[in-house]
Amino acid sequence: MIVEIFSCGPLHTNAFLIGCKDTGMAAVVDPAYQSFDPIMAKVEELSLTLEKVLLTHSHWDHIADVYDFKEKFGLPVYIHPLDIPNLEKPGVDGVPMFFPIKGVKPDVLLKEGQIIEVGQLSIEVIHTPGHSPGSVCFYVPKHGILLSGDTLFEGSIGNLSLSTSDPDSMWPSLEKLAKLPPETLVFPGHGNPTKIGKEAWLSKAKKKIWRNNMNLVGNKAPSFKAKAVCKDVIQEDFSLESLKGKYVVFFFYPLDFTFVCPTELHAFQEKLSEFEKRNAQVVGCSIDSHFSHHMWLNTPKNKGGIEGVSYPIVSDLSKSISTSYGVLKDDEGIAYRGLFLIDRDQVIRHQLINDLPLGRSVDEALRILDALIFHEKNGEVCPANWKKGSKSMKPSQEGLKDYFTNV
Ligand SMILES: [Fe+2]
């Protein structure tokens, strides 16, 4: 099988010429910007006959030269129906284009499992929505080759923050690719080739990628209902909703009966009245059971316990809360030291995640809470190292100037 790669255009998009060695029949895959001339030079050099144009998806950088192939040679264009609109009218998908390009009408509509022949090559269509709804990969099982478009890259995946993207459909798509033989050689739409077996993270991409990129600031705090222990009382269905109208300092710690954790829990207890004065509820959480929390709460400080702690400690035995807050450490099944400041409308306004050996500063948690309260009351913003009582700033050029001349 012939596979020639042409990295073209401002985004270094990979266009491909694939062909059957026995018959000399060939297809263009993703004719990127200015790929026409080099592809045609190679077609001539190898004495190939072009049959068709296959598109992994319709983002402008993958279809920029499709017009030339279709108009000059009348080659039929193959695409999944869900990606037609941007092929016909480039730019309508809302993905910013660097320059105008010409659209074409498709000729053959692709679907999952369809087999496309190029000479004696049999190419299987794998529908892999996520980066765009009509994204497909082209798989040639006989030669162990996959053209993955912008679904899978070496060590990474296609952009999920575009107007066409849908993370929820990306994960099943990647799981499909993870099931291909490990020796499958992958040619992505950008960057270097790789192998399925080299991308060991693929089968758990959702956990690895989604969670590692999780920023919850500005989002509604994930709600939960779970068992919690407050002093000596076990609450069966403690919920975040029940704290609406209060600020919540919600912190995760790795495990009961360990070493850094009790110092943190006592440190929050020592300043609890400061939080209460500010209408803030401190809530701790770990993946331990409520029995373990209860036992730990009844163990004195000098024996490593947290006796005297009076704020609620949530039991996240199912690990669903630490998962939804993006703090679960997969390999150990415990939570990182995550801290979330949740406002009175239950929107997360601050998050901090420390690795296991790094204890947090309760003073810093209080300082951030003060900054939020100050901002909500006065509308002014809090510059670097701001502390309650120190100078704030109007959020404007003038305000900044005034700040710098007066500090
Ligand atoms: Fe793309």
Residues 6+ apart with CB under 8 A from 108: 52, 76, 77, 78, 79
Quote the ligand 1 centre to 140 CA distance (angstroms): 21
74 CB-near residues (< 8 Å, 6+ apart): none
Q: Name the nearest CA neighbour of 49 among 60, 40, 58, 57.
A: 40
Cα-based angle 92, 97, 99 (whole degrees, multiple of 5): 115
Backbone angles phi, psi at 69, to 5 degrees: -65, -40
Architecture of domain 2-212: 4-Layer Sandwich (3.60)
Cα 13 to ligand 1 centre (Å): 9
Give yes or no: 20 in active site.
Answer: no
Catalytic residue among 20, 137, 261, 285: 261
What's the number of CA atoms in the CB half-sphere (13 Å) around residue 39?
Answer: 29
User: Which letter does DSSP use for residue 253 in this model?
Assistant: -
| Both tokens assigned to 311 | 């704020």
The alpha carbon of 145 and the centre of ligand 1 are apart by a number of angstroms equal to 20
In 3D space, the residue among 340, 383, 94, 55 whose CA is nearest the CA of residue 189 turns out to be 55
> Whose structure tokens read 């263009």?
28
pLDDT at 89: 97
What confidence tens digit (pLDDT) does each residue in 46-57 have? 999 999 999 999
What's the confidence (pLDDT) of residue 209? 64
Q: Is the distance from CB of 320 to CB of 313 less than 8 angstroms?
A: no
Distance of CA 241 to the CA centre of its chain: 26
Look at residue 82 and give its three-state secondary structure.
helix
User: Where exactly are the structural domains of the chain?
Assistant: 2-212, 225-360, 361-407
List the shell of residues around ion ligand 1, using CB closer than 5 Å: 59, 150
Tell me how far the alpha carbon of residue 51 lies from the centroid of ligand 1, in angstroms: 24
Cα 158 to ligand 1 centre (Å): 7
Residue with tokens 């992958």: 186
User: For residue 26, how far is its CA from the centre of ligand 1 (angstroms)?
Assistant: 23
Q: Is 203 helix (H, G, I), strand (E, B) or coil?
A: helix
Whole-number pLDDT of residue 246: 97
Query: Residue 355 in 3-state DSSP?
Result: coil
133 CA to middle of ligand 1, Å? Answer: 11
Residue 306 one-letter amino acid: I
How many Cα atoms occupy the beta-carbon half-sphere of 68 within 13 Å?
Answer: 16
User: How far is the CA of 242 from the CAs of 14, 284, 347, in angstroms?
Assistant: 53, 15, 14
**Residue 205 alpha carbon to ligand 1 centre in Å:** 19
User: What superfamily does domain 225-360 belong to in CATH?
Assistant: Glutaredoxin (3.40.30.10)
Q: Under a CB-based contact definition with an 8 Å cutoff, are residues 54 and 138 in contact? A: yes
CA of 188 to the centre of ligand 1 (A): 11
Facing residues of 336 across strands?
A: none
Please, how many CA atoms are within 13 Å of residue 335, restricted to the half-sphere of its CB? 32
Q: What is the pLDDT of residue 378?
A: 86
Q: Which pLDDT score is estimated for 365?
A: 97
Neighbour-count burial of 300, counting CB atoms closer than 10 A to its CB (0-12 exposed, 13-18 middle, 19+ buried): exposed
What's the CA gap between 136 and 111, in Å, rounded?
Answer: 9
Residues 6+ apart with CB under 8 A from 45: none
CA of 11 relative to ligand 1 center, distance in Å = 10
Low pLDDT (below 70) residues in the chain: 207-213
Instruction: Return d(Cα 35, Cα 28) in angstroms, integer.
Output: 10
